[in-house]
Chain A
Amino acid sequence: MARLKKFFRYENVGMLFVLPAFLYMLVFVGYPIVHNIILSFQDVNAGNLVKGTRNFILFENYLELFKDSVFTSSLWNTVRFTVSCLVFQFIAGFALALFFSKPFSFAKPVRGILLVPWMIPITVTALMFKLLFATDIGIINFLLRSLHLIEKNIEWLTTPGTAMFALICANVWIGIPFNMILISTGLTTIPKELYESASIDGAGKVQTFWKITLPLLKPTIESVLILGFIYTFKVYDLVYVMTSGGPVNATHMLSTYSYKLSFEMFKYSKGSAVANVLLVILLFVGVLYIKATTEGEDA
């Protein structure tokens, strides 16, 4: 009896409440991850998927991947894409959040409208940007030509360097509202009194920003950046629709390359190895996120 009582102590009861979610994750998250890891150590392809004659080849898939120039470039592309997107969408989102925190008429409805890019299905956004950046019929080239900034049409999506730029533009456009709304929410948690007393003490706008707004927003900023990282790092649909990883593999991300290996070239094990590299990186960032947020609670 005493043991049972001891078992139902406060913390243990808490664990019981977590149990359903834990079981769900075990089946729908844990199993695919484990399955995928096992798959990546085998040599599964079209020939032995069904026949069941798969062999364990340990790290051979991974070793081959790091010799594969498309893999290394897609790893580098994913990093480049993520960092560029984060920088631009964070700065723009922050600026907009500050702007809309001012009490002017229509501030709230306009902020609401700005959420639209985030709500549009990504496939639609991708098709839209594909047309905007089209060489001969795209409006971007038309505008640039009309302004006499360029003489000849820029081949945005058919040149390796500019194709990445176009992808980043599209993704920043989607990401700005996400950053804006989270930072706006963060701003409302800062007590007004702090600003009032600061202005009484003679602090200027710039000083208030650096000394009050930014430090008090630190937890929000950390969350926004890390969630943004995860959200951007696993980009798939946008790239698939806009460039499919082209031209000449120049915009392949880990996700699109994994799909291509698995479902276009029937190299299932290699594809899952790429997915696992993605998983490890995101797991690392996820742990960082937890650390950042729990430290905030401790403080």
Chain B
Amino acid sequence: MKKRKLTALLTALAMTAGILSGCGAKGGESAPADKAPAKDAQPAKDDAKEESGQESASSGEAQAVTIWYYWENEGHQVTLDQLIQEYNGSQAQYEVTAKYVPFADFKKQLSIGASADELPDIAILDSPDHASYVDMGIFEDLTGRFDVSNYYEGTVNSCTVDGKLYGVPFGANCLALYYNEDMLTAAGSSVPTTWDELVETAKALTTDSVSGLAFCSVQNEEGTFNFAPWLWSTGATSYDINNENGIRALTYIQNLINEGVMSKECINWTQGDVMNQFIAGNVAMMVNGPWQIPTMQSEAPDLNWKVTLIPKDQEYASVLGGENYAVVNGGNVDGALDFLTFATSEEKVKFMMNQFGYISADKTIAESQFAQDSPYYPFVEELNYAMPRGPLAEWPSVSDALSLAFNQVITGTATPEEAAAQAQATIDSIIK
């Protein structure tokens, strides 16, 4: 009888085991770095790590330097590979390989990697997460090793914690307003520059089958990214929303929904979905980033669209996005620094940015990067008004509170006043 109980308990454990592989447990997950990158034959990583402390690698064996990135765009991947090949061909000391980690898994893999000591040497990560990982203590202090004085202030701030530089901005992007010029002309409207004009224009453009305006409002970091320009334009900050300004921003969004000029579906649309609706002609104006331009040009070459600044309430505002390079401490730091010095040279930055459809984080390069009539040009102008999210180790929690607030307002489950008060209470409990 006792044995039966034992068997019973074991079976019960086995049946419940499934959930643990799905969530919570980190012990059972396979370490990501072990899966060799697909691109190149990779020399033994451990050897390389041991050697990394020594000054020279005259032994002839190239030391491995690994990079993790999350760009799913094939063009981006090919470009990064080109840069790496060029670097590997230019010297014999280091051999760089890159590994793609899907964006949805990127944070998870870095966290697991950090606790399992299986990290890359360089991570190219989303700028608002930078501070969290600095707090985790996995990034090398790069203060004084790179000249970032000419970079946009916001991009440098995103990788600076307590006055120390923990990364190098890869590229910058921000959000701006796209509009379908044919629809605008047909409706006899002009390009909106203020919030009031935007509502009026959106109303004029809305028909049975077309929404006047759309922007991604998913309840996550992507949604917060798209909400930030509206919030900041009122003069409110990300940490101070329960006031006249913050409530005005939420009320404005609520009004867009209530007037029927923006679809509630936006809470399920990623930025890519929004772009697809725009080029399908279901949306007349959208807020989106410059990285959509190459896709839009190839998918809808006949669509007549333009880009302008996001209309303002009190002041123009946009949100800074983009990736930063970070060097992981404890890995092949020398190799990583050597590669970064190569990759951040003016010539290489220009090459990468143009191929990516990104704007350089370096002001001088950015300003001469595009011609006046280029669709990218308004983004360079918008960049002057773009501010970073955070940097704050607890940014993911703040972001969660903000995205809950505008989702409550959009779905009508709370009034702007209630949503702002609730978000403020959460934010106050995070930032003591």
Q: Show the binding face of A for B, using Cβ within 8 Å.
A: 11, 22, 25, 28-33, 35-36, 39, 46-47, 49-51, 130, 134-136, 155, 157-160, 230, 234, 236, 243-250, 255, 258-259, 262-268, 271-272, 274-276, 278-279, 282-283, 286-287, 289-291, 294
Contacts and interface: CB of A to CB of B under 8 A. Distances in A.
Given A33-B20, A49-B111, A249-B404, 5 more contacts: A36-B25, A243-B268, A244-B219, A248-B407, A262-B108
Contact of A264 (B3, B107, B408): B107
B107 A247 contact: no
21 contacts: A25-B17, A28-B28, A33-B25, A50-B138, A155-B265, A157-B268, A158-B268, A158-B410, A246-B219, A246-B267, A247-B267, A248-B414, A249-B404, A250-B413, A258-B24, A263-B111, A264-B221, A265-B396, A276-B24, A283-B16, A290-B11
A190 to B, nearest CB: 26
B20 A275 contact: yes
B8 interface: yes
A50 B20 contact: no
Interface in B188-229: 218-221
Nearest to A287: B12
A31 B396 contact: no
Most buried by B among A28, A50, A160, A265: A50
B273 to A, nearest CB: 10
A290 B15 CA distance: 11
B294 interface: no
A29 to B, nearest CB: 4
Contacts of B4: 294
Nearest to B3: A11
Given A36-B25, A290-B12, A279 B396 contact: no
A234 B138 CA distance: 33
A47 B138 CA distance: 10
Contacts of A249: 219, 404
A279 B20 contact: yes
A234 B24 contact: no
Interface of B: 3-4, 8-28, 107-108, 111, 114-115, 132-133, 135-138, 218-221, 263-265, 267-268, 282, 393, 396-397, 400, 404, 407-408, 410-411, 413-414
B114 to A, nearest CB: 5
B407 A247 contact: yes
A266 B114 CA distance: 12
B393 A290 contact: no
A289 B15 contact: yes
What 10 pairs between A and B have smallest CB-CB spacing?
A: A275-B24, A286-B12, A32-B25, A290-B8, A263-B108, A29-B17, A282-B16, A234-B19, A32-B28, A158-B264
Nearest to B23: A258
Tell which of A32, A158, A259 has the most Cβ of chain B within 10 Å. A158
B268 A234 contact: no
A136 B209 CA distance: 9
Contacts of A230: 15-16, 18
B201 to A, nearest CB: 21
B295 to A, nearest CB: 20
Contacts of B18: 230, 234
B137 A50 contact: yes
Contacts of B410: 158, 247
Contacts of A31: 27-28
Given A158-B264, A234-B22, A289 B115 contact: no
A286 B23 contact: no
Contacts of A266: 107, 111, 132, 396
B265 A136 contact: yes
Nearest to B330: A50
Contacts of B8: 287, 290-291, 294
